[in-house]
Structure 1
Amino acid sequence: MWRRGIIACAGGVIQRQPWWRSITARRSSSLRATSSSAAVNSIILRSLKDHFFEVSKMTPPPKVSPPSPFTVVKGALDSGGAVLKRSYGNEEISISVMRLANIIPGGGGDDDEDDDGINQLFLHVDILKPGQQDSLLFLCGLYPDALGIHSVSMRPKMESSEASALPVLLNRYSGPTFEDLDQKMRDVLHGYIEERGINESLFPFLQAWLYVKDHRDLMRWFKSVGTFVTEAKEGASPA
């Protein structure tokens, strides 16, 4: 047992290893780890700051207004909900939008990445009527010169986003595949939403709106990650 705690010196004298040496080694290792962590944090914060200012200098697109009679939903830029709304007779119509590339990565092909990311939008068109338990939902692809319907379904109104309504929505029959409908029915459904102003005229506004939202979300991301790293740095306690 004793021999495990001793070492031989160069002159052949056997002496016990100082007890404080292992403590110093552990403390030195802890200091090195703390120093390394601080250096990494500093690099991250510098990079975040550089990217934040670079993105902040990007020129926004010209301001575009939605075609009448659509209006912008208040607070839409800071939420994931509807962007546009309008009334049509006794109907309330709301439109949500995403980039098609976010739904089906690479879905538009590889010929032109700009077309995939910018010129193909994915719409949720909700049509509600008073006294009805369900709303009529159109899922559509929107392009600069055309609008295509992916599906048409009935779904329960989720005005309060109740989680209890989700199983009902998932287990419910959503209707036939749009391509399986005959041409006459497809034409009628296209005419139905076009009559309500759902067409390619929405594209310029929604494209510009998504640019502004993406820009705002990216700026917010840089700031929130930087705040997290800074707080972790300041609140960290030495090992």
Structure 2
Amino acid sequence: MWRKTFSALRQPCLRIACRRHSSTNTTVSSAVNSMLLRSLKDHYLEVSKMVPPPKVSPPASFTILAGALDGNGPVLKRTFNDKEEINISVMRLANIIPAGNGNDNDDDDSMNQLFLHVNVSKPGQQDSLHFLCGLYPDALGIHSVSMRPKAESSGILVVPSQYTGPVFEDLDESMRDALHSYIDERGVNESLFPFLQAWLYVKDHRNLMRWFKSVGIFINESKSA
């Protein structure tokens, strides 16, 4: 009997304790969500006030691909000699290799180092000539040259599964110079840097704004639920 009486007295207490614990968790979670939403809003407003760089146009021979700011594909394209199509994709070294020691000078240097994927294709050819280049304000260097299969339907370069060519630095100097002349003749040189640097700034700014907004919407919906 005592056991039954003790159990009967204890059960309501347990339910009350659980409700209080649940209520405390809900209060803490709501406070955390509110704090995070406030921080996201503050940063969103701060970033929205950043002054963009002066508008820069690409060299006259190139055109900007529609929707390039919202995707990860090529940024610029041009036609050369009425038969070659040249597509250029770009990314920053800073987005590939994180800063090592937090030195501001190193950060500035990495922001001024761009990687280009230059794809030269011809009608009826299944393979494309692909250049991986480093682009700087005053120079362009070739890291590798390879032949890669191209998906005709989408124009997306497929990751090669076969031998793609020798290490660029192992080629003799005359061959390296000739390859530099080849892409320079097609307008792929340091003249692209001002536009691509400004374009990446706009893209990074847009992505950051979109990130603050999407995270805020997610947290706010969780809060409402």
Return the index of the structure with the highest Cα Rg. 1
Q: 2:183 aligns with which of 185, 188, 193?
A: 193
Please say if residues 149 and 160 of structure 2, whose CA atoms lie closer than 8 Å, have aligned partners that are also in contact.
Answer: no
Q: Give distance in 2, aligned partners of 1:141 and 1:5.
A: 81
- In the alignment, which residue of structure 2 is the partner of 1:133? 126
Tell me the TM-score normalized by structure 2: 0.91
Q: Give distance in 1, aligned partners of 2:109 and 2:175.
A: 30
Q: 1:30 aligns with which of 22, 31, 34?
A: 22
- In the alignment, which residue of structure 1 is the partner of 2:109? 115
Aligned residues: 222
Q: Give distance in 2, aligned partners of 1:159 and 1:224.
A: 34
- In the alignment, which residue of structure 1 is the partner of 2:32? 40
- In the alignment, which residue of structure 1 is the partner of 2:11? 19
Please say if residues 94 and 107 of structure 2, whose CA atoms lie closer than 8 Å, have aligned partners that are also in contact.
Answer: no
- Indicate the SS of the match to 1:19: helix
Instruction: Please state if 1:228 is matched with 2:221.
Output: no
Q: What are the within-5 Å matches in structure 2 for residues 146-165 of structure 1?
A: 146-161=139-154
- In the alignment, which residue of structure 2 is the partner of 1:96? 89
Consecutive unaligned residues of structure 2, counting only runs of 5 or more, are: none
Q: 1:73 aligns with which of 65, 82, 92?
A: 65
- In the alignment, which residue of structure 1 is the partner of 2:78? 86
- Indicate the SS of the match to 1:62: coil
Structural RMSD (CA): 2.3
Q: Give distance in 2, aligned partners of 1:32 and 1:206.
A: 52
Shift in alpha-carbon separation, 1:179–1:136, aligned structure 2, 3 A: same
Shift in alpha-carbon separation, 1:30–1:195, aligned structure 2, 3 A: same
Instruction: Please state if 1:53 is matched with 2:48.
Output: no
- In the alignment, which residue of structure 1 is the partner of 2:164? 174
Tell me the TM-score normalized by structure 1: 0.86
Shift in alpha-carbon separation, 1:26–1:200, aligned structure 2, 3 A: same
Q: Give distance in 2, aligned partners of 1:173 and 1:56.
A: 47
Please say if residues 87 and 120 of structure 2, whose CA atoms lie closer than 8 Å, have aligned partners that are also in contact.
Answer: yes
The percent identity for this pair of structures is 67
Deviation string, structure 1 residues 9-37 (Cα, Å, up to 9, x no partner) = xxxxxx97442110000011011111111
Q: Give distance in 2, aligned partners of 1:209 and 1:103.
A: 17
Please say if residues 99 and 106 of structure 2, whose CA atoms lie closer than 8 Å, have aligned partners that are also in contact.
Answer: no
Deviation string, structure 1 residues 172-210 (Cα, Å, up to 9, x no partner) = 112111111111111010000000000000000000000
